Amino acid sequence: MTGFALDSRLERDSLFIADGPLSQLRLIDDSRFPWLILVPRVNDAAELIDLDGSQQRLLLAEINLAAQALRKLGRCDKINIGALGNIVRQLHVHVLARVEGDVAWPGPVWGHGTATPYSTTARAARIHELKTRLMA
Amino acid sequence: MTGFALDSRLERDSLFIADGPLSQLRLIDDSRFPWLILVPRVNDAAELIDLDGSQQRLLLAEINLAAQALRKLGRCDKINIGALGNIVRQLHVHVLARVEGDVAWPGPVWGHGTATPYSTTARAARIHELKTRLMA
C-alpha cells in the first residue's frame, strides 16, 4: 500500500469516502447520478487482468458493497458497472445508480454532457448517507 | 441450466461462440470493435448482485478469459468491461478491445453510432480466431 498514487484527474473529479480492503472508494462529484468509483491501491494496474486472483476477489466484494449501498440510497432502476480507462489509465471501476429518464438514460453516463458538481451541503450529505449505507 | 432463455435482442445482435461454466460467450456482430458479451445462464438475473458468490467468481474467471483472448487477437490498447443493462435487462457483461483512434475513442462504445455487421467470411474468421485464442 506504500506509495499508492491516485491519478490527478480522478482526485480532481471525485471525493474520498472510505478505504476498502483493496480499493479507495470515491464519489464522483456529479450530482446528476449517484456515482462511485473504486480505485484499487495497486500501482501500475490499468486492467482488471493486471490484478491477481485474490485482488480481483476483493474488488468483486467491494463492487457488491458499493452496489448495495447505492440501492439503499434511493430509487435505483439499474446499476451500471464499468471499467473503461480510455482516458484515465489507472484502474478504476465505476459503480453507479441509474433511474429511468435520467439525463443520460438509456445511454451510458461516460462522456455524457458535463458534470454538475454537488453544492457543499449536498456533497457532505451524500457522503454521509453513503458512509451510513456502507456500514448498514 | 434448464430452460435458459436468451433475450431476443442479444440473440439478434450477437453470435454464439462457446458455453463457459456459467455464461454463454457471444460475439457482438459489429466489426468496428472486437466485442464479446458474457450472458450468465441464470434466468431473471439483471444485476451482478443477483448472482450468488460462486456464480460471481465463475463470471469473473470468464471475464479474465475473454479479456486474455481479446488481447491475443491483435492490437489492444485498452480492454473495456461493462455491465449496463439499461436497454436489455438480462444480465450480460461486455468485454471488448479498444484501439486508440477507433471510431468511438476515447468514449464508450455503447450507443455510439450504428453497428457494422461482419461479412459472412469475416464473421466466420473472427469466431474461429476467438475459439483458437480461448483454448490457447
DSSP state of B87: S
Sort out which chain A residues have CB atoms less than 8 A from B47's CB and list them: 67, 78-79
Q: Are B25 and B81 in contact (CB under 8 A)?
A: no
What value does the mean pLDDT take over residues B106-124? 97
Number of domains in chain B: 1
Q: Do B82 and A79 touch (CB under 8 A)?
A: no
A108–B82 C-beta distance less than 8 A: yes
For residue A113, the cross-strand partners are none
| Burial status of residue B29 (CB atoms within 10 A of its CB: 0-12, 13-18, 19 or more) | middle
Q: What is the pLDDT of residue B2?
A: 62
List pLDDT tens digits, range B42-90: 999 999 999 999 999 999 999 999 999 999 999 999 999 999 999 999 9
Question: Which chain B residues are Cβ-neighbours of A84 within 8 angstroms?
Answer: 78, 80-82, 108
Cell, residue A97? 445508480
Does position B108 have pLDDT exceeding 60, yes or no? Answer: yes
Interface test with A, best of B37, B54, B59, B79 (most A CBs within 10 A): B79
- For residue B64, the surrounding DSSP H or E stretch is helix B53-73
Whether omega before A21 lies within 30 degrees of 0, making that bond cis, reads: no
Taking the mean position of all CA atoms in its chain, how far away is CA B11? 12
Looking at chain B, which residue has its C-alpha nearest residue A105? B86
B2 part of a folded domain: no
Residue B1 maps to a domain: no
In a domain, A2, yes or no: no
Q: Say how far apart CA A20 and CA A22 lie, in whole Å.
A: 5
Helices marked H in A1-136 — which ranges?
8-13, 53-73, 120-135
In a domain, A1, yes or no: no
pLDDT at B3: 83
Q: What is the dihedral of CA B40, B45, B48, B52, to 10 degrees?
A: -80
Q: What are A14's strand-pairing partners? A: A28
> Chain A within 8 Å of B107 (Cβ-Cβ)?
yes
- What is residue B123's predicted lDDT score, i.e. its pLDDT? 97
Q: Which domain holds residue A126?
A: 8-135
Residue A98 forms part of a structural domain: yes
Q: Is residue A92 part of a domain?
A: yes
Please indicate, yes or no, if residue B84 is contained in any of the structural domains. Answer: yes
The CATH number for B85's domain is: 3.30.428.10
pLDDT tens sequence across B30-40 = 999 999 999 99
> Does the interface predicted TM-score (ipTM) exceed 0.85?
yes
Is B103 within 8 Å of chain A by CB? no
What residue has cell string 446528476? A32
Per-residue pLDDT 10s for chain A (136 aa) are 568 999 999 999 999 999 999 999 999 999 999 999 999 999 999 999 999 999 999 999 999 999 999 999 999 999 999 999 999 999 999 999 999 999 999 999 999 999 999 999 999 999 999 999 998 7
Q: Is residue B3 part of a domain?
A: no
